[in-house]
Structure 1
């Protein structure tokens, strides 16, 4: 039959506030800074009744993207159920020949409908409506088949089947869906490669699951499952919103709409029960509801706001976080301002010490008398927290505040480990072990213990949710969410082979980071949400460990390069195109000592001398300033990041050990450019002579200055290097690109400093090159007394001999009245310069030294011969000789 109908609308608006206590479709655990946020999330819906005139029983179970509908209703005589479609307002019913009942549960955008019919023996068989005709479909080898979904893209059917042994399984297309260990598996809906459903375990308890595109099952335990008659997941959209139907013993069937952040019951106003069967991409839910008088109507519930796509980031760009000359940087925490914390090796390599990297300043911390100290949390205000290991091997919490380390032990704890700090409340989150050896989690004063757990790990609080993991009585790991005192447990696939699984963080968008290790494997990191999970791996790394996720979805952690060094990283979510663009890998080997290389790939962020030093492990980086035809040096003690690294340019680095690592990035040139792309490694097999060398250091005893010039001369070769001073730092460099030695052991290095006017402001410093300098390709020096001589001194005039003029330099260690007198060989005064009161300093350049034109006090030129000149101050006097030649 068919009839034309009008759909009447009853508008109701309700605001539902939810807290996360829902079916959690992903896994996480955290050891990071904690943020307490209200977990309430608002859902607002308007309800519209969908009815057919004269039809009091309309079980609406499916919809298309065009708001056409399908389901089942009673036959005209009320004796059986018949399927129906409601397409373009036209209501039509369908009954499979000789069937007891016929039901539709799926509707495609092209008008195809599907479901199943019941034969006279009470068995179900799939049925498909195509071009107005009903066709039977039985899954191969099945006794019964029920269809619940049709793919608009492929036409694949999804549903359940029962085999000859009476075992119920799911299917999608030709793929059998069977959750490991399940007595029965129900499959329902596929979205973006994810199939959702539920299953019954060996104890008869319901669980929900997600079947991912990579063939993995993500199982979720349901609170109070022992009181549930059934729970069925009926759909999930691209925004990660899903709809479920469930029934507790003694209760009516209820519908819940959920996201990764929470769930809310969906109930049509004044209804006895509401059953939602499908969710659309706009977040609207369709189904049916029952009234107290037994009538059943269809409905559509529309979200008042626009749907928000819940992202699952699978595409990232990667940036290194390194500290030059630090080969072990285990980064475990970050703030919202991209400051970092973690732990590293002590200077002697004998223990672990905590570190912070705030505003680019790297600082290490060791708790007094501790064996090791670790940071795992960092607040936005610079507070850090973690734990230290005492001499007996026990862990105690530790908090860094205003530069001071303070111990913290959870009340009654034998051991305490801190993994999170709340920026809002200061509450700490972590784990503690009591006197009986039981490990539990805590957040603030609240003890966190998963039911039936032998160990519970607590890590991160976001939007009112605490995430973590626990070990059950059999030693298997599970994930969990704790909210408002309730636990939602998450089963992990292949748990019997896991050494550990920790959930390290979740942000308000529901994106999480987890870290796990299977037996015989390296640690791995996973990023996911309700929409799926994917492994996060720094390209070219041996292993990657993500420890924190930020609100923008970026992940920070640590990775190990091929040479065993440990680096920090930040992974930023991006588009697939950009991720692919910057996802190229170039493996590099550098030999111990000096190497010349060019950077083969452009990273997503600008590379500098500092970042090149970090990734290569170099203690020296040298670039050629082509415009000025000189070399520029950089060392890790520099106060800035140094020069920018460019494609196609050669750089010299010195590494203390052989390095194996990977550059990651994009080609330096795009397809529109005609220049030759940057070469790869130019040379690593260079002769191990000192063919490049840097003299670096700091000016001391003076306020921070920039723009001074440091002049470095090798007295053996007479080679001169210069460097501009930046915040009292300098690095003068030289190199021979023919790989010939530029410096040898025993060479004398002379250094002077001039100010921005070219005036000398330092002593003449002398240093000797030793074997260590050659090995490291750098001599590090300290230049003190800049602008303040250690002692007053009269220096040799220049030029000498002279005709007709000369300059007389001197330096003053004390301020005072100064004069210089010139005498002939008989001691007669020839000329006197009264200079008045002069400040401490160097008077050595032509601009401030005393100038003599070779004339006496009467302006007459003096004769050739030997003369004497004398410096006189209130506390100092010195005489030297000069010669006039005509």
Structure 2
């Protein structure tokens, strides 16, 4: 039996929930205690990618089949939970008993032991891309550790003069080595081997220095240092690396694209691995059961962003993890070893380190990715499954995302509400910035590098296109030599080269990459879009019949094209991106159809990728982790960005439901119909719905809380089973995407209620039953503990809001949907300091039709704590009371005294207050009390007479 129940939520309006029947064989909704939570990885077996389950921390999970009677929502089992970030759970089973049923990434490698005759201790810690090695070993007498190199099979040891120990941890392709030595006092100092000679290196102002990396591109050293105050920080070249708020920061290696890896220690002594992007942004990962670790060091990263890490659990042996931050790390171990410690990863993916054997000896090793003669090759994925997330910016109804970095920053082109001109944008670290080339008709970005550079093209006044590049916040024009028009679609992170196409004076379109012209043989038009790290270039060409053909050009200049079925039906077919495993994304359109997106490979063909619930989907970029980025059109004509992240089939099926929502112009009540794969905030909801504000009820404090686009943060969490008020300036029709709700208490909402009071299309004015006064305070560096009091002078209703940063939002609503504000109302705003004192002139604002349409009155409160004039205000209460208080305000710092006169003008008393700072003296603690402690007084003839 399946029925839909209606319950009341905290806001008092209905929320639809599912009262679900249960799958045969389960008599009731049941919960089970599992020792581990399944987490899924891709692992190569034969020629296919099979799903291998991993195990995660114990928890309580719920099995339930959910049936929801709404369009496009599928019936699903919720039979697992999932981890969106770093999957390290298998590491916590690193012992002999537990590893038998856990797949290891070691299966994908062949291993070679590296030994030196008569050396029983060879700690190999570094390598070049030419299989030369460095590290440390025991001295001839066995009393100390000495550094070594093993270059062209020649074994050389190095002992820094007067040292206790010497170690190498870095080896460049030019033969230079680096590390550190321990002096007689136990302090570490950097050491560099150049031309066979050792030299000391200490980072400026350091007490200790340790070197772990050498850049082949720049020669810069990377490591960490301790200063005189005992604080450990990383360094690379002459730049100090410090994770915000960390007590210790370790830096280990920088790859050729500028991506740095290392780890930091937080205030609780817990280790966190990080990647630092070329623009200085840190991407940190939280480790499950981090408190159980003695350390966690990320030592190496190659240009394919595969990392090698070394870690140790308390009371356990050291271990090694290999993988990516996007897809998770897996156990790596030399077969038969007691312990394995990986230190370096080369560009070909080979891993170098050392292991201990059962007889107590230490050996070096190199692990190479298995070749065709050793095992079947891992095929490029042939089936693609995703979870989807919408990308939106509050106040922007047209956000065409066309490019992304590997760190989930975005670029493209946009139109603000009411605008017709398209301008380029970047969305980096959540900051939305637009760019309009001077005198252009429109400006678009189509490429975004990991270093924050963007590129695309603009249309000039004559309708011709010219390349445009964003560097250091400035736009510059780029035209390919002898080009009439230039369009840029790609930036290489490895070389910085631009890729795109140009039209010459004869009207022929060709591609380019860097300064090289790309032309498919015999093609009248060639488009070039992107080059991956291995040099494979993708694009499309048009043949003599005007038919489009997608192609890949290999580094040897060979073109490989795909023959499309019925190609004459395509208006266009563009291949925009390819990642390093050969998966590409293309954009296509057939005559009479909407634009569509294809994802696949030249080996296995293409499949359509479509954002659930969209009218059309246009994919433009594919990242190294396989995520696809682009934009889609919703039913109301708005353009939204999206990212589609790879997932296993079960997770993809669970989260690909779409629930279409229609909102009327004005105020609406909604709840979240589906569980999104990533948490939703007030900012996300406002951006997705195109709302001007969102309001919820803080049930604990019985107070309405609002978020508006001028807020400095993302606002409160949007949760299932809760009600929210949104105000939209136009009717909306769009889809929420996610999984059906399930909850062991059967209390979460399974579907939303959308309840506009009066639909805008009926031509009836909607009552303003919810309203927000929000804005920013100016005049002081901080406003901690400040409050803003808002009063409607017509209704005398009062709302108080706390100031967050310099922002406030005072919200009110009538859940019976009666009007609470109207055009012409005067709203009084006061600012109260932490001590209860007034901190600004009382300001008034008149409500306009625009305010009512947006359900928001935005204000700016200047000169907080700075009166514009000196005033002595009315005393309170009057002098016929036992006591009276005299408020006043000062516009500048000055000496202050208050004189009291009788009704005849005679001076009664002067109160010298001394030097006073500018401000408002309105509160009881700051106003003047003309009465001394325990005075005697009497009142006569309207005269306050004080007797001291």
TM range (shorter): 0.5 to 0.7
Residue equivalent to 1:859: 935
Match of 2:832 among 742, 754, 759: 754
Residue equivalent to 2:573: 501
Instruction: Give the C-alpha shift of residue 769 in structure 1.
Output: 1.1
Aligned in 2, Cα 1:403/1:761: closer, same or farther, shift over 3 Å?
same
Match of 1:443 among 502, 508, 513: 513
TM superposition score normalised by structure 1: 0.62
Residue correspondence of structure 1 range 298-377 to structure 2 within 5 A: 303-304=373-374, 307-308=377-378, 310-312=380-382, 314-345=384-415, 349-377=419-447
Match of 1:550 among 623, 634, 646: 623
Residue equivalent to 2:484: 414
Residue correspondence of structure 1 range 515-534 to structure 2 within 5 A: 515-529=587-601, 530-534=603-607
User: Does the 8 A contact of 1:345 with 1:352 survive in 2?
Assistant: yes
Residue equivalent to 1:691: 769
Instruction: Give the C-alpha shift of residue 636 in structure 1.
Output: 1.3
Partners in 2 of 1:824 and 1:470 — Cα distance? 97
User: Does the 8 A contact of 2:663 with 2:754 survive in 1?
Assistant: no
Secondary structure of 2:684 counterpart:
helix
Instruction: Give the C-alpha shift of residue 383 in structure 1.
Output: 1.4
Secondary structure of 1:615 counterpart:
helix
User: Does the 8 A contact of 1:346 with 1:353 survive in 2?
Assistant: no
Residue equivalent to 1:874: none
Runs of 4+ in 1 over 4 A off after TM superposition: 43-46
TM superposition score normalised by structure 2: 0.58
User: Does the 8 A contact of 1:45 with 1:303 survive in 2?
Assistant: no
Residue equivalent to 1:673: 745
Aligned in 2, Cα 1:682/1:486: closer, same or farther, shift over 3 Å?
closer
Unaligned runs of 5+ in 1: 1-42, 47-261, 263-282, 285-300, 869-882
Partners in 2 of 1:486 and 1:380 — Cα distance? 28
Match of 1:741 among 819, 824, 835: 819
Partners in 2 of 1:801 and 1:742 — Cα distance? 39
Match of 1:781 among 838, 859, 882: 859
Residue correspondence of structure 1 range 458-537 to structure 2 within 5 A: 458-462=528-532, 463-482=534-553, 483-529=555-601, 530-537=603-610
Residue correspondence of structure 1 range 654-669 to structure 2 within 5 A: 654-669=727-742
Residue equivalent to 2:661: 588
Residue correspondence of structure 1 range 750-829 to structure 2 within 5 A: 750-800=828-878, 803-829=881-907
User: Does the 8 A contact of 2:667 with 2:757 survive in 1?
Assistant: no
Instruction: Give the C-alpha shift of residue 416 in structure 1.
Output: 0.3
Partners in 2 of 1:375 and 1:326 — Cα distance? 17
Partners in 1 of 2:795 and 2:880 — Cα distance? 27
Unaligned runs of 5+ in 2: 1-107, 112-347, 349-368, 760-765
Partners in 1 of 2:518 and 2:784 — Cα distance? 56
Partners in 1 of 2:914 and 2:696 — Cα distance? 47
Match status 1:620 vs 2:693: yes
Partners in 1 of 2:912 and 2:493 — Cα distance? 67
Q: Number of matched residues?
A: 576
Partners in 1 of 2:435 and 2:664 — Cα distance? 33
Residue correspondence of structure 1 range 271-282 to structure 2 within 5 A: none
Residue equivalent to 2:613: 540
Deviates further, 415-424 or 526-535? 526-535
Partners in 1 of 2:672 and 2:389 — Cα distance? 15
Partners in 2 of 1:723 and 1:312 — Cα distance? 55
User: Does the 8 A contact of 1:762 with 1:789 survive in 2?
Assistant: yes
Secondary structure of 1:774 counterpart:
helix
Aligned in 2, Cα 1:676/1:353: closer, same or farther, shift over 3 Å?
closer
Offset from partner CA, 1:435-464 (integer Å, 9 cap, x none): 000000000000000001111000111021
Residue equivalent to 1:562: 635
Q: CA RMSD in A?
A: 2.6
Instruction: Give the C-alpha shift of residue 631 in structure 1.
Output: 0.8
Residue equivalent to 1:456: 526
Structure with greater Cα Rg? 1
Aligned in 2, Cα 1:833/1:353: closer, same or farther, shift over 3 Å?
same
User: Does the 8 A contact of 1:822 with 1:867 survive in 2?
Assistant: no
Residue correspondence of structure 1 range 91-490 to structure 2 within 5 A: 303-304=373-374, 307-308=377-378, 310-312=380-382, 314-345=384-415, 349-462=419-532, 463-482=534-553, 483-490=555-562
Partners in 2 of 1:420 and 1:490 — Cα distance? 21
Offset from partner CA, 1:778-805 (integer Å, 9 cap, x none): 1111111111112222222233466222
Residue correspondence of structure 1 range 625-644 to structure 2 within 5 A: 625-644=698-717
Offset from partner CA, 1:348-374 (integer Å, 9 cap, x none): 523111111111111111111101111
Aligned in 2, Cα 1:639/1:437: closer, same or farther, shift over 3 Å?
same
Partners in 2 of 1:419 and 1:572 — Cα distance? 22
Aligned in 2, Cα 1:826/1:577: closer, same or farther, shift over 3 Å?
same
Partners in 1 of 2:604 and 2:524 — Cα distance? 30
